[in-house]
Amino acid sequence: MFRRTVGFVKAVNDVSFSIRLGETLSLVGESGCGKTTTGRCIARVYNPSSGSIHYQADEGESVDLAQLDSRELRPYRRQIRMIFQDPFSSLNPRLPILQIVGESLKANRIARGSELEDRVAALLKRVGLRHEYIRRYPHAFSGGERQRIGIARALALNPKLIVADEAVSALDVSVQAQILNLMQDLQEEFNLTYLFIAHDLSVVEHISHRVAVMYVGKIVELASTDALFRSPLHPYTEALLSAVPKPDPRLRNSGVRIRLEGEVADPSNPPSGCYFHPRCPYAQDRCRHEEPAARQIRHDHWVACHFAEELELRGFEAIGSTPDVRQARARAQPSRKVPKT
């Protein structure tokens, strides 16, 4: 009775985007910008306080998941699954793998008994684990193996959309590559759609079709992966790209690292106008007083910046790369299929 509300924190504020069937849309940004909250709202782990989440059902009709209660959400929870960030805390240490992976199958009355064991064994085999692991407990596995178990659990109900919340950030680099390749193979095999939440842009470049950049609860830029890495339109995106480590020794000492001044804005007391203006090297008076609206500047390339057309920002390739390195990267870049909307 002695507590009172002194303000609100808008962890996700006026975020709007769409995910196309069969594509990987990556959501990137600094820690605390609202990426995980966005993903958990879509999966309805969190209940959004406002807004709508439109999901195209099998019948072709659009359903607003934000308006459904727990009973009405049940059939859609089978189609939207999550892969969590920490493979160590996301698995119940008191349950064997058979129960962890098979729990959703049993709860939805899809399989029981020997059929349940056969389906779990098939799922483990598909993610690269052996049948005899089915009765082991999580403590007996490495981090990469635990994440494979998490992927098998997400696949158990044949979902359409998987929200991967920092799915490889807690893993070693070599294991990250294995998990990313596995996720891409599963996407092609089952026509999965991914919302891939990450902060490592080198990983994002490898797996994504499109990328959305978040800053303090807002999306500041949304574009195809190639377009965003080649020619960003927002100063924050340019700064993120400059921070990507360069594995080629010819690039390590080339280019200029953009170091942003100041701290990330407080979401409980954000600045007026553009949230990024206190740290933006290109900020003008208009940025301090007027909030920029998201605009489509190029084909399928959206940005929330007043001066996007005027700025000449550098992409990842332009930051210190040489022509022979660019050609080598182009040859090594994996081909991506463009999904239909």
| Phi, psi (rounded to 5 degrees) for 2 | -95, 0
Radius of gyration of the chain (CA): 22
pLDDT for 173 equals 84
pLDDT for 147 equals 94
pLDDT for 251 equals 60
Stretch 152-169: mean pLDDT, rounded? 94
- Predicted confidence band of residue 256 (pLDDT cuts 50, 70, 90): low
Strand residues in the chain grouped as ranges (E): 24-28, 54-56, 62-64, 80-83, 161-165, 193-198, 210-215, 218-224, 295-298, 301-303
Q: Residue 107: count other Cβ atoms within 10 Å of its Cβ.
A: 12
pLDDT for 5 equals 76
102-125 confidence digits (pLDDT tens): 999 998 889 888 899 999 999 999
Q: Over 80: is that where the pLDDT of 329 sits?
A: no
Higher pLDDT, 144 or 321: 144
Query: 2 vs 7, 9, 308, 313, CA distance in Å?
Result: 16, 20, 48, 51
181-224 confidence digits (pLDDT tens): 999 999 999 999 999 999 888 889 989 999 999 999 999 999 99
List the one residue out of 260, 203, 253, 247 whose CA is nearest residue 229: 203
Q: Over 60: is that where the pLDDT of 254 sits?
A: no
From CA 7, how far away is CA 174, in angstroms rounded?
44
CATH number 3.40.50.300 is the correct assignment for the domain at 10-79+159-341: yes
**Where are the chain's structural domains?**
10-79+159-341
pLDDT for 314 equals 87
Q: What torsion, rounded to 10 degrees, do the Cα atoms 243, 175, 40, 338 define?
A: 80
- What the block records as the tokens of 137 is 């407990």
- What the block records as the tokens of 229 is 């890495």
- What the block records as the tokens of 325 is 């390195």
Stretch 136-161: mean pLDDT, rounded? 94
Stretch 133-143: mean pLDDT, rounded? 94
